[in-house]
Structure 1
C-alpha cells in the first residue's frame, strides 16, 4: 500500500472514530457496534424508573442513528456491584452512569474514568443546605434529635442525606434517620422546602440553588426561612468509560454529546434526570464527596 493511501486511511479512521489499525488490517466487519450504556445504582427516580428507561432507550437510539445508523444502543440498569462486575468482565460495559459516591466505591475494583457530568440548576456541583424557620434560632441552639427533618426521596435527596449524616456525625448530633416508609420522606426538594414553610416539618435538606430559585418566585420564603448549615460543593453523578471501552466507541459517544444538531434531543434525556446538559468532567468536582466518603461513608462499610 502506498504511503499516500495509507495516510488517507488513517485520516478516514480518525474522522469516523474507528482505529487506523482496524481499517488497515481490513477488519471493519468485525467491529463491535453495540453501544452498551449502563445505569448503576439509584440514578433513576424510583417512581418513574420504568418510564425513564423506555424514554432513554428510544431517544438515545434516535440520536445515535443520526450520527451513525450502523450502531445499536443497549441500556442496562443494574443495582448490585456483582452485576456491574460481570458486565465489565464480559466486555458488556461501555459507558456507565452512576452517583458520585458509587463511583468512589466502584473504582477500587473496576478501572473507569469520568468523562462528563451533568449540569443542574446551571451548576456542576451543588451545595446542600439544612433549612429551618428563622424563628428557630441558630444551629447551635437547636436540639435536632427531637425534630422532623424532611429529606427528598428522589436521587437529589440521597446525596443530601449522606451529607447530613456526615454533618451530624461531625457535630456529634444524635438523629434517627428515616427508613424508606417513614413520614419524613418527602417527594422532592420543592415539597421539602414548602413543608418547612408551612410548619409540616421542622427542617429540611435541599440544594442551595433550589432554595434560591424558589425564593425568587416566592419572596415570603426568603423572609421566613434561614440556612442553618451548608455543605461543600458536592458532585451528584458522572458519565464514565471503562478501560475496556474502545476508542472508536468513545469517539461516537463524544460526537453525540458535542454535535449541536443532536443537543436538543440529548437535553430531553437529561431533563428526565432533572439535568440540563453534559459538560466535561474536572477532577476537582470530586473533592467534596471524597471528603465525606473518606471520613464517614468508608467507615460504615
Structure 2
C-alpha cells in the first residue's frame, strides 16, 4: 500500500476539521435525504486551502440547488476514512485518486460514478523528462541524480517505480540521491530545465503546454519514457444510495459545465466537465498496479 495518498495538508486538517454544509430548498419526494460528499485531500492537488473551501462550497451548493436536496461536503484525509464512512452510511459520494480506490475496491461498498475531462481527455499520460544535454537517454543513466515529482501524485510515482523495476533497478527512493517534491507539475519541469534536477515525472499535457508557451523548453528538454493513458481521479457513489435521487444527481453532475457557476467550479478543479465512468476506464491503472506488484515480487 506504499502508494496510498497520504492526503494534502494532513496536519492542517487534523487540527482544523473542515465540514461545509449547504441547504437547498427540498423538492417533495417523500423524504429529505442529505447527500454527504467527501473529497480525499490528495485530489485537491496544489489548490490553496481557501480555494478548496470555496470550490467545495460552490459545488455542494450547486448540487443542492440543481437536485433539490440537502448536501454536506468535507475533506477527508485518505481512502481508509472514505471506506469506513461509506460502508457505515456516513458518506454517500467521494472523489478519490483512482489508485487509492483500486487498492480498496474489494472493501468499499461503492460503484464508479463519474470522472473529469481535462484538456478534452478523461485520461492522462505521464512522461519522464531529462535535460537534452543528457546524451544517454535511458533512465538508468539518471542513477544517483535528483528526481523532481509532484507532491501527492502517487500515480506518477507508481509509473516511475515500475519503469525502474522493469530495468532491474531499485525504486526511486533508493535509486536517486534526493527527491524534490513540487506543488505544481510546471515547477518539476522547470527544475530539470534549470538543472536543479536530473529527471522529472509529470502529466504530458502540462509538458506540451509549457513547450507551446516557451519553445526553449522543447529544445532543452526531452521525453525518455511515456506511460499509458490513465484515469487519475474518480468519483464513486455508495451502492445503497437512494435510487430515486440517483437520476437527478447524475443529471446535475453531467450538466455542471452548462451553468455559469458550474464552469467556475470546474475551473477551480481544473476540469472541463464531468462524465459517467465505468470499470473499463480504470483498466490501465489496474494493469500498472499488477505489473508493479509482479515486478516487486520477482526482485
Unaligned regions of 5+ residues in structure 2, if any? 1-26
Written as runs of structure 1 = structure 2, the 5 A alignment for 1:236-251 is: 236-251=232-247
Q: Which residue of 2 aligns with 1:38?
A: 38
Distance in 2 separating the partners of 1:280 and 1:206: 25
Q: Which residue of 1 aligns with 2:15?
A: none
Q: How does 1:200-239 map to 2 (within 5 A)?
A: 200-239=196-235
After the TM superposition, list the runs of 4 or more consecutive aligned residues in structure 1 that deviate by more than 6 angstroms. Answer: 298-301
| Alignment check: 8 A CA contact 2:162 2:295 kept | no
- The DSSP-based 3-state class of the residue aligned with 2:143 is helix
Q: CA deviation at 1:80?
A: 4.4
Q: Which residue of 2 aligns with 1:284?
A: 280
State the distance in 1 between where 2:154 and 2:171 align: 16
Q: State the alpha-carbon separation in 2 of the partners of residues 101 and 146 from structure 1.
A: 28
Among residues 189, 192, 207, which one is paired with 2:188 in the alignment? 192
Moved more, 31-40 or 202-211: 31-40
Distance 1:95 1:298 in 2: 32
Q: For 1:125 and 1:237, locate their aligned partners in 2 and report how far apart those are by CA, in whole Å.
A: 9
Higher relative CO (Cα under 8 Å, sequence separation at least 6) belongs to: 1
Quote the residue 2:105 is aligned against. 107
Q: Which residue of 2 aligns with 1:59?
A: 58
Task: Supply the distance in 1 between the matched residues of 2:40 and 2:80 (Cα, whole angstroms).
Answer: 11
1:298 is displaced (CA, Å) by 8.3
Superposed displacement of residue 98, structure 1: 0.8
What is the aligned length?
268
SS of the residue 1:125 aligns to: coil
- 2:135 and 2:229 mapped to 1: Cα distance? 25
Tell me the equivalent position of 2:74.
76
Question: TM-score with structure 2 length normalisation?
Answer: 0.79
Give the drift of 1:134: 1.9
> Is structure 2 residue 88 aligned with structure 1 residue 90?
yes
Deviates more, 1:163-172 or 1:75-84: 75-84
TM-score by length of 1: 0.79
Q: Map Cα deviations across residues 226-262 of structure 1 (whole Å, 9 max, x no partner).
A: 1101111111111111211111222232121234685
SS of equivalent residue, structure 1 residue 105: helix
1:113 CA drift (Å): 1.5
Tell me, yes or no, if the aligned pair for 2:173 and 2:179 is still in contact at 8 Å.
no
2:122 aligned residue: 124
Extract unaligned runs of 5+ from structure 1: 1-17
- What residue is the counterpart of 2:16 in the other structure? none
| Residue 277 of structure 1, CA deviation | 1.6
**CA offset at residue 188 of structure 1?**
1.1
Aligned to 1:135, what secondary structure does the other structure show? coil
State whether residues 121 and 210 of structure 1, in contact with CA within 8 Å, keep that contact through their aligned partners in structure 2.
Answer: no
1: distance between equivalents of 2:190 and 2:150? 12
Residue in 2 that maps onto 1:11 = none
The answer to which structure has the higher helix fraction is 1
Against the structure 1 CA distance between its residues 159 and 272, is the aligned structure 2 distance closer, same or farther, given a 3 Å change threshold? farther
Does the C-alpha gap of structure 1 residues 43 and 172 become closer, same or farther in structure 2, counting only changes over 3 Å? same
3-state SS in 2 of match to 1:177: helix
User: What is the CA–CA distance in structure 2 between the aligned matches of 1:217 and 1:269, rounded to whole Å?
Assistant: 26
